[in-house]
Structure 1
Amino acid sequence: MQILTPREVPLGGYRAMTVRRTLPQRGRAFIGAWCFADHYGPARHQMDVAPHPHTGLQTVSWLFEGTIEHRDSLGTHELVRPGELNLMTAGGGICHSEVSTPDTQTLHGVQLWVALPDSTRNGDRAFEHHAPDLVDLDAGAHARVLIGDLPGVDRSPVQGHTPLLGAELTLPAGADLTLRLEPDFEHGILVDTGEVAVDDARVTSGEMAHLDVGRGELRLTSDDGARVMLLGGTPFEEEVIMWWNFLGRSHDEVVAFRDEWNNHGERYGEVHGYTPHEGGLARIPAPGLPGLRLLPTVRRGRRESVL
């Protein structure tokens, strides 16, 4: 087991907020195809993120508290509410905006990315909204399966492009829960609130426990109760370059993605209906590239590095 400690990162936009990022980091870039995990709140904060682009990935938006208004270049206008999944597939290019609703005072949730495989990363844009059922588990625990299949519990109808699992688990005080796992998957347990023991290792709020492939079950216990996100998938073996909001396969490809966004190219389309604040940006420009060639994220055996 590997315990991943988050780092605090300012999330850009008009109302910048600080998030806790557990993926990617040096030593662990992927859990299955999950390649990005931001955890934020609960905080009295509002969000106003102007249109910005993505390529080669899916965004998974999941809230515990608050409401966010989503608009994208497919023409989608949808609210992100607690317990409801918004899954946006960038394919070859999409752009979107995220703004908290006027009645939202406290934001609390996770923003997750899934890397698309080479076979579908240049495909069509897509958007799915899904409200998963709350499923009773043993020991008084509950689960909501966002994406993929939690063996013996539930399966989500939304489309993944590699074998995946994403689920919210809530554990009451004194819980002792054992879940079946897909042994071909590696797994991550991101603790939102409370503290859990994973194989007797204590994992606290904001931390993530990584479990390698070969596990057929998972035991979670909690003295005072907890809420966790369970992520899993088959190891993602493709080399990718992740820079800013782009996932590509080469330095030159990422440079082209950046230039096309900043030059208002057709790849990403346009977001309609977003109103910038007074004096604010109508879209977020891509930052300058570093003065060196971007290198891929690589797997070394069962360990990973972000280069």
Structure 2
Amino acid sequence: MSNIDTDPDEIRCRADDLPVGDVRHPYVEIITSREVPLGGPRAMSVRRTLPQRQRSLIGAWCFVDHYGPDDVVSTGGMDVAPHPHTGLQTVSWLFTGEIEHRDSLGVHAIVRPGEVNLMTGGHGICHSEVSTPGTSTLHGVQLWVALPDAARNTPRDFQHYVPPTTELGGGARARVFLGNLAGSTSPVTTFSPLLGAEIVVEPGATVALDVDPGYEHGLLVDTGSVALSDTPLSRGELGYVGTGVSSLTITGAGAGDAPARLILLGGKPFGEEIVMWWNFVGRDHDEIAAFRDEWERESERFGRVEGYVGAVSRLPAPQLPHARIRPRRNPPTENPQRSTQEETR
């Protein structure tokens, strides 16, 4: 998915100063989303959870859009003309509906529920995304992964994987689309240690997930409500837990409520500073400006998408900000709310 804000922020993201979790009672930071329209008077909106001022990265995860369920008849659905990417991988995961994907690698694919599609746009790629004619409801998440410096010029690539359902016991199940969890491992290639999984928790069920203590984690609530380590999370909220935690306990809402559907994201702290603007991930303002210039000049860095039919043949790049942006840092390691939380246990 494109970030088609007409005046996007330039965001410098740092992955240091991360809150370290307590093994027994991890502190859960709640991150809320903001509504972002995808363009046009009848456009669908997305809930953008990352990046935020309070937190820019979770591992190498640098962008989290959560959308739907969206009535395609009333909103017009998704129709994003060819647009560029650099320095990242896009991860598409649907709950309902279908999206037609075309890219400059020559891939023409249909994104379906329960099937992960990962596109690598290291050196440069462009693609289009359109909800299919048979789609009446669109619902899913679009995620970006920042590529580390050693891999950020990697060639274009596209991977597709259908993860099996893994029973977690006690009324919970998962589909692991990146990394490994509960004995299930995804074969999809990434360039940083990562975890990505859809988890469904039945009402009243409790599951304890063994996780890598070297990872930080974010749990996004799609439907229903849960408690993550005793901290309540509602639909659209993301609960963040820092490194040093080897188990995450998730409890579904009470009997009679609907099952909770969640997206669990994790990864080792990225350890590099990046700049995000529009659909580019780079290392400084000048590099972003060069990417924008190449896209506007229709450079071969990005190639061309064949077969897309829309009102415009490609998305024009917005104007760059007039000033350079200072680094945006994650909050200090010591969070004063932790002591208050522990006193109330």
Q: TM-score range by the shorter chain?
A: over 0.9
Higher relative contact order (CA 8 A, sep 6+): 2
Is 1:26 the counterpart of 2:53 in the alignment? yes
Residue equivalent to 1:217? 247
Q: How far apart are residue 299 of structure 1 and its match?
A: 4.6
1:1-307 maps to which residues of 2 (within 5 A)? Answer: 1-12=28-39, 16-45=43-72, 46-150=77-181, 152-223=182-253, 224=257, 225-276=259-310, 280-299=311-330, 302=333
Residues 34-63 of structure 1: per-residue CA shift (max 9 Å, x gap): 000000000102111000000000000000
Which runs of no fewer than 5 residues in structure 1 stay unpaired?
Answer: none
Q: Which amino acid aligns with 1:260?
A: E
Conserved 8 A contact 2:71-2:136 = yes
Q: How far apart are residue 294 of structure 1 and its match?
A: 3.7
SS in structure 2 at match of 1:139: coil
**CA 1:300–1:206 in structure 2 vs 1: closer, same or farther (change >3 Å)?**
closer
Q: How far apart are residue 153 of structure 1 and its match?
A: 2.6
Which runs of no fewer than 5 residues in structure 2 stay unpaired?
Answer: 1-27, 335-345
SS in structure 1 at match of 2:195: strand
Q: Which amino acid aligns with 2:266?
A: G
Measure, in 2, the Cα distance between the counterparts of 1:169 and 1:3: 18
Q: Which amino acid aligns with 1:9?
A: V
The root-mean-square deviation of aligned C-alpha atoms, in Å, is 1.4
**CA 1:13–1:181 in structure 2 vs 1: closer, same or farther (change >3 Å)?**
farther
Conserved 8 A contact 1:132-1:156 = yes
Measure, in 2, the Cα distance between the counterparts of 1:49 and 1:41: 16
Q: Which amino acid aligns with 1:4?
A: I
Measure, in 1, the Cα distance between the counterparts of 2:325 and 2:79: 29
Conserved 8 A contact 2:67-2:139 = yes
Q: Which is richer in strand? A: 1
Larger displacement relative to structure 2 (24-33 or 5-14) = 5-14
Q: Which amino acid aligns with 1:59?
A: T
Q: Which amino acid aligns with 2:139?
A: H
Aligned length: 299
Residue equivalent to 2:18? none
Conserved 8 A contact 1:13-1:48 = no
Q: Which amino acid aligns with 2:31?
A: L
Conserved 8 A contact 1:188-1:230 = yes
Measure, in 2, the Cα distance between the counterparts of 1:285 and 1:129: 29
Stretches of 4+ aligned residues off by more than 3 angstroms: 12-15, 294-303
**CA 1:52–1:14 in structure 2 vs 1: closer, same or farther (change >3 Å)?**
farther
Measure, in 1, the Cα distance between the counterparts of 2:89 and 2:30: 25
Q: Which amino acid aligns with 1:248?
A: G
Q: Which amino acid aligns with 2:67?
A: Y
Conserved 8 A contact 1:85-1:146 = yes
Using the size of structure 1 for normalisation, the TM-score is 0.95
Measure, in 2, the Cα distance between the counterparts of 1:301 and 1:34: 20
Measure, in 2, the Cα distance between the counterparts of 1:114 and 1:156: 16
Q: Which amino acid aligns with 1:123?
A: T
Conserved 8 A contact 2:55-2:331 = no
Q: Percent identity?
A: 60
SS in structure 2 at match of 1:177: strand
